A = this chain, B = another copy of it.
Amino acid sequence: MNQSYNSQLLDNAVAELGKLPGIGHKTALRLALHLLRQDEGEAVALGESIINMRRQIRYCRTCHNISDKETCDICADSSRDRSVICVVENIKDLISIEATGEHRGLYHVLGGVISPLEGVSPSDLEIASLVDRVANGGILEVILALSPTMEGDTTNFYISRKLAPFNVEISMLARGVSIGNNLEYTDELTLGRSIINRVPYR
């Protein structure tokens, strides 16, 4: 919808805001009018933070996490276990795992998963650089933390084959019933898997 609001400036802002995922035309208009009511500094700070982020952001040379420097804070943190690499699809997943506080090793961000349907092949992902990291030695375990989907499983399989020649333990996320979820809402496949992979009661 290209409704005009008597101002090209407002129209532009609404159009650009409306391109964001989950933000429709009405919400975009509400946000733009909100910004008009704020101090100029507020709106400029928002605009500049977006521009600066996109223009200046760097990716860690080692793990491809976002970073303002050549090496991200996680890779630079000497207190972390440098012998364990957790492989994730994207930065959002890295943030999620980091938020659990359960992984004290390093990461490796693939930048996606293998998906023939979407034209993503292994060469589009940071798999070769992962193999290089393992080949360089010092890595005892690689945790495959990809989504339990067809594409995730394919990528897990591909990576596990690539890492087979090296003396490194390969693990993956446990699959089973979600904590706090009623069993009746758990799908059959997950429930079946959680029976097969049952663990001793502690």
Residues of A within 8 A of B (CB): 3, 5-10, 12-13, 15-17, 19-23, 27, 29-36, 38, 40, 42-57, 65-68, 72-74, 90-92, 95, 99
Contact = CB atoms under 8 A, between A and B. Distances in A.
A48 B51 contact: yes
A50 B23 CA distance: 15
A27 B22 contact: yes
A57 B21 contact: no
Binding site of A, secondary structure by majority: helix, strand, loop or mixed? helix
A43 B91 CA distance: 18
Copies in the complex: 2
Central interface residue in A7, A43, A72, by most chain B CB within 10 Å: A7
A133 to B, nearest CB: 18
B9 A53 contact: yes
A65 B6 contact: yes
Contacts of A56: 9
Contacts of A36: 53-54, 57, 66, 91
Given A30-B21, A31-B21, A46 B57 contact: no
A90 B17 CA distance: 21
12 contacts: A6-B67, A6-B72, A6-B73, A12-B52, A16-B50, A17-B46, A22-B27, A29-B95, A36-B57, A40-B55, A44-B51, A46-B50
